[in-house]
Amino acid sequence: FLPQEFIVKKRDKQALTIDEIQQFVQGITDGSVADSQISAFAMAVFFNDLTLDENVGLTMAMRDSGRRMRWDDLQLPGPVLDKHSTGGVGDVVSLMLGPMIAACGGFVPMISGRGLGHTGGTLDKLSAIPGYDPFPTADNFRRIVKEVGVSIIGQTNDLAPADRRFYATRDVTGTVESIALITASILSKKLAAGLDVLVMDVKTGSGAFMPTFELSKALAERIVRVGNGAGVKTSALVTDMNQSLATCAGNAIETAEAVRYLTGEVRSDRLHEVTMALCAEMLIAGGLASDTADAEARLQQALDSGRAAEIFGRMVATMGGPSDFIEHYGKYFEPAPLVRPVFAPQAGFVTGTDTRGLGMAVCALGGGRRQAADVLDYRVGLTELVELGQKVDSQTPLAVVHAATEDGFEEARRRVLQAVGIGAAPVARPTQVHCILR
Ligand code: URA
């Protein structure tokens, strides 16, 4: 097998065989394929795409490049389900969704990521909880999923190792934005977790990774086809990321919001709508609910009974966090030294938000990474974010900034003012769930 011949084939738009794809991925994993060859292949795929069969083959080969989890030996009394989001700002859904699904009889082994660019990461939000250890042993992870119903952890090196090398090469060769490669990258990691059902949340809008609705939808369609082709029941919701999903963004800030959501203290409309839609899709796909109305009733019951909150609390405690986190989360989160509003510069209506810009404001405060090795400040972020269509005047905060320093505040203030557009005429609120693909 010569990698250069494989690359030439894709360059010349010829079909790749599954066997060739497997050998190439094997070479990525064992180091026998060079970085230059990975990048040439990635660029050939960027321009010439993959057929569905090739995309399924690549995904499965990457999935099999490391350890594959299995759950059948545990004889769980319910399906193994997960959700994955392409990333956004104020997207704290996973923290609520996992316990809500567990409360409805599902089992959720969620392997989450760190923040990437302007987007937040579930792993960073949970790491804000003192003592929470997102890297349990594989046996402990399985035990927690079985006993609690949900465990949210970080990605370990033995899961889809081919993707790590492939992604690192794409990242520095202008080949991240290929629908075929994004699909294989995301699904290889999710499929290695041994799921029965995967629901994807593909974001669209100014804070999404995909720049247009058409591309978001195309990515969602590809993920659904490849996921199902690889043997996991997969569906996708395209949801709105033209503003922060929660009315706040930041690590500890969002984790506190998740607790308030679960206990019913505060449940903001947009966050609730998207969380319920994703959860309902999971319950239906997993055979735990007959239709949307049935699913919503079960989820509401999981919230109202306090069961979902209790499960979140148990997960946190089992993973090394405080045993009274749900009741006393406030005492575990140190406030930022400086908490100060940024007022609207003029009266009018919020006509648009550069959501990426808001995410970058959180990064600039120290809540996201500029470089992989950066240490996060969990305290910082934005709260009381204005919503699209909201009427504002010079007394209305566009956001309240939680900063570590005066300089941090000034930088965030500048970015918030730049990110929030104010006009004279009201605009319609965007739909939250644009479409569901199955
Ligand atoms: N996230 C991933 O995990 N992989 C990609 O290729 C893009 C986003």
CATH of the domain at 396: 3.90.1170.30
Query: Do 255 and 147 sit in the same domain of this protein?
Result: yes
Q: What is the CATH number of the domain that holds 8?
A: 1.20.970.10
Q: Are residues 406 and 317 part of one domain?
A: no
Q: Say yes or no to pLDDT of 211 above 90.
A: no
**Residue finishing a domain among 281, 310, 328:** 328
Instruction: Say if residue 215 is in the same domain as residue 359.
Output: no
Name every protein residue with a CB atom under 6 angstroms from any ligand 1 atom.
Answer: 167, 176, 181-182, 185-186
What span, in angstroms and rounded, lies between the C-alpha atoms of 29 and 162?
5
Domains held by the chain: number = 3
**Spatial CA neighbour of 405 closest among 340, 334, 332, 330:** 340
Residue 190 catalytic? Answer: yes
246 with 214, same domain: the answer is yes
Q: Do 83 and 20 share a structural domain?
A: no
Same domain, yes or no, for 165 and 309?
yes
Q: What is the pLDDT of residues 334-381, one digit of tens each?
A: 999 999 999 999 999 999 999 999 999 999 999 999 888 899 999 999
Amino acid identity at 166: F
Residue ending a domain, among 302, 328, 354, is 328
Helices (H) and strands (E) in the chain, counts: 17, 13
Q: Read off the pLDDT band of 117 (50, 70, 90).
A: confident
- Which pLDDT score is estimated for 370? 83
Q: In this structure, what CATH number is given to the domain that contains residue 190?
A: 3.40.1030.10
- Residue 350: in which H helix or E strand, if any? strand 348-353
* Residue 175 and residue 87 share a domain: yes
Q: Is the pLDDT of residue 183 over 90?
A: yes
**Any domain includes 399:** yes
396 in any annotated domain: yes
What number does the ligand 1 atom closest to the CA of 176 have?
Answer: 6
Asked whether residue 431 is assigned to any structural domain, the reply reads no
Based on the fold, state whether residues 316 and 347 are members of the same structural domain: no
Hey, what amino acid is at 303? L
Establish if 256 belongs to a structural domain.
yes
Residue-wise pLDDT for 118-155, tens only, equals: 999 999 999 999 999 999 999 999 999 999 999 999 99
The verdict on residue 317 lying in a domain is yes
Q: Which residues contact 181 (CB under 8 A, 6 or more apart)?
A: 42, 45, 46, 166, 170, 175
Is 125 among the catalytic positions? Answer: no
**What number is the ipTM of this complex?**
0.94
Residue of 63, 83, 217, 379 marked catalytic: 83
Residues 343 and 304 in one domain: no
For the segment 253-262, the average pLDDT, to the nearest whole number, is 98
How many angstroms is it from 182 CA to the middle of ligand 1? 5
Q: Which amino acid is at 296?
A: E
CB 206 within 8 A of CB 350: no
350/312 same-domain check: no
The proportion of the chain whose per-residue pLDDT surpasses 70, expressed as a percent, equals 100
Residue 34 lies in a domain: yes
- 60 within domain boundaries: no
For residues 79 and 102, state if they share a domain. Answer: yes
Domain that holds residue 416: 338-423
DSSP 199: E
Instruction: Name the residue of 111, 116, 182 whose CB sits within 8 Å of the most ligand 1 atoms, as the mutation to test its pocket.
Output: 182
Does residue 438 fall inside a structural domain? no
pLDDT tens-digit series, residues 48-84: 999 999 999 999 999 999 999 999 999 999 999 999 9
d(CA 320, CA 76): 24
Catalytic residue among 10, 63, 164, 189: 189
- Asked if residue 304 and residue 164 are part of one domain, the reply reads yes
CA angle 412, 216, 187 (to 5 degrees): 100
